[in-house]
Homo-oligomer: A and B are copies of this chain.
Amino acid sequence: MAEGMHGKGKVVLAYSGGLDTSTILVWFVEQGYEVVAYLANIGQEEDFEAVKAKALKFGACKVVIPDLRREFVEEFIWPAIQANAKYEDRYLLGTSLARPLIARAMVQIAKDEGAQYVSHGATGKGNDQIRFELTSYALHPGIKVISPWREPEFYKRFPGRTELFEYAKLHGIPLPVTPKAPWSMDANLMHISYESGVLENPYNPAPDGLFNMTQDPENAPDKPEIIEIEFEKGVPVRVKNIDDGTEKTEPLDLFVYLNTVGGKHGIGRVDLVENRFIGMKSRGIYETPGGTILIEAHTDIEVFTMDREVRKIKRDLDIKFSDQVYKGFWFSPECEFTRFCISKSQEWVTGTVRIKLYKGGVYIMGRKSPFSLYNEELVSMNVQGDYEPRDAGGFIKINALRLQEYARLRSNSN
């Protein structure tokens, strides 16, 4: 079918099945675009068949729903664990990590389907628009992006929820049960994030019943559970539940299992204010059970097996990585370089960490490794070995030399 027949060409739309993207879909069709609806399975709870049916009903010429869960874990979450990645020290980047993956598949579909455009329903004030689009441009520099919530012809047509609802009724788009969602959420395998609505007042606590992946710590089991996580080159390769013997080794299984057991114990809830790339502060609430456990465990085995000075350099890279990912630059020369260097640092990050999970807490209990740089004999107060205590005196004196000179020359103290 020629482009001419549809007037405006073909667009791949990241479609969720919700009110906003359904409206966008219908609007695109109205405008004369041919629409390929695209929904990534990244582990969110979803009735994918129902979404597909909806898309077709609203005029999509095709619906593509790839299962990206494996890639998500292996290509995106694992590098983030290696980087102990936290944006501004606290946010574990659950959404930030999923966006480049979703956009990569979207761009691939655009190439496969010969579409000139990609589109998404992200708002004009958020980070996600940036993450989607930077990825699209980076992987397909000639692509054109249509972001309806930034197009005056679209957003002036729908200045408020009222107009959106009217349009939806007119076109048979199902309305949400509540007229105004009390908050918005984004879910994937790694986390669920909550923001806006009642959460916009940063002093309001998270309402009861907000969370979906994690038990409230107060309702979590009274009995702790002990697990062990084994890492190879900074990547988890085995989780073992010491209490019931469960073992997982396949990456996706392993991660899902950590979500389950972590969620059960109420692990990984955070309430924070963060700085968006766009320059404003926003309040977000996150639950990241498996990711939280893994970063705690990985940090522990990393310090145990990595040289101190290498880790200092690597930590600087970690901070850069987190910033790059948050801002949507996963597919960029700098993030590729950073990931490459971090990955190199993980060569010996191999070993096992024992962890207690209890009512929201992740408690490291011990660790072991065939490649540890920890030397029990050397550190022991009871063993001298060929460590010569006098050397420490020289070490201190030489380190003090600069300080003494400073004191003498600056203050003419004795």
Taking a contact as CB atoms under 8 Å apart, the answer to whether B358 and A139 are in contact is no
Taking a contact as CB atoms under 8 Å apart, the answer to whether A271 and B363 are in contact is yes
List the B side residues contacting A363 at CB < 8 Å: 217, 269, 271, 360
List the B side residues contacting A150 at CB < 8 Å: 389-390, 392-393
A139 CA to B408 CA, complexed, in Å: 10
Task: Say yes or no: is A396 at the interface (Cβ < 8 Å to chain B).
Answer: yes
Tell whether A217 pairs with B269 under 8 Å between CB atoms, given A278-B392, A401-B279: no
Taking a contact as CB atoms under 8 Å apart, the answer to whether A280 and B133 are in contact is no
Enumerate A338-365 residues with CB–CB distance to B below 8 Å: 338, 340-341, 344-345, 348, 354, 358-361, 363-365
Taking a contact as CB atoms under 8 Å apart, the answer to whether A134 and B366 are in contact is no
A152 CA to B388 CA, complexed, in Å: 10
**Copies of this chain in the oligomer:** 4
Task: Say yes or no: is A380 at the interface (Cβ < 8 Å to chain B).
Answer: yes
Task: Say yes or no: is A233 at the interface (Cβ < 8 Å to chain B).
Answer: no
Segment among A3-11, A68-76, A201-209, A245-253 that sits at the interface with chain B? A201-209
Taking a contact as CB atoms under 8 Å apart, the answer to whether B332 and A200 are in contact is no
A/B interface sample: 23 pairs, CB < 8 A: A88-B303, A130-B395, A133-B396, A137-B397, A137-B407, A141-B404, A150-B393, A184-B381, A202-B304, A202-B366, A202-B372, A203-B366, A271-B365, A271-B366, A279-B399, A279-B405, A281-B308, A281-B374, A307-B402, A310-B333, A316-B316, A337-B341, A341-B344
A361 CA to B160 CA, complexed, in Å: 41
Q: Measured between C-beta atoms, what is the minimum distance from A38 to chain B in Å?
A: 20
Contacts A130-B395, A150-B390, A160-B382 aside, 13 further interface pairs with beta carbons under 8 A come to A88-B311, A124-B387, A125-B392, A137-B400, A138-B400, A141-B413, A150-B392, A202-B376, A275-B303, A279-B405, A280-B401, A281-B374, A316-B316
A399 CA to B135 CA, complexed, in Å: 11
Q: Which residue of B lies closest to A88 (CB)?
A: B303
Partner of A333, one of B269, B366, B391, B406: B406
A101 CA to B395 CA, complexed, in Å: 22
Partner of A340, one of B272, B303, B344, B373: B344
List the B side residues contacting A337 at CB < 8 Å: 310, 313-314, 341, 344-345
Tell whether A202 pairs with B367 under 8 Å between CB atoms, given A311-B88, A393-B391: yes
Taking a contact as CB atoms under 8 Å apart, the answer to whether A376 and B203 are in contact is no
Task: Say yes or no: is A149 at the interface (Cβ < 8 Å to chain B).
Answer: yes
A300 CA to B331 CA, complexed, in Å: 26
Tell whether A278 pairs with B333 under 8 Å between CB atoms, given A315-B319, A375-B409, A403-B138: no
Q: Which residue of B lies closest to A396 (CB)?
A: B133
Partner of A361, one of B201, B314, B316, B359: B359
Partner of A123, one of B300, B365, B381: B381
List the B side residues contacting A300 at CB < 8 Å: 272-273
Tell whether A392 pairs with B392 under 8 Å between CB atoms, given A123-B381, A340-B344, A400-B134: no
List the B side residues contacting A367 at CB < 8 Å: 202-203, 273
Task: Say yes or no: is A48 at the interface (Cβ < 8 Å to chain B).
Answer: no
Q: Measured between C-beta atoms, what is the minimum distance from A195 to chain B in Å?
A: 9
Tell whether A334 pairs with B360 under 8 Å between CB atoms, given A202-B367, A372-B409, A408-B141: no
Return the CB mask of A57-84 against B: 1 if under 8 Å, else 0. 0000000000000000000000000001
List the B side residues contacting A382 at CB < 8 Å: 160-161
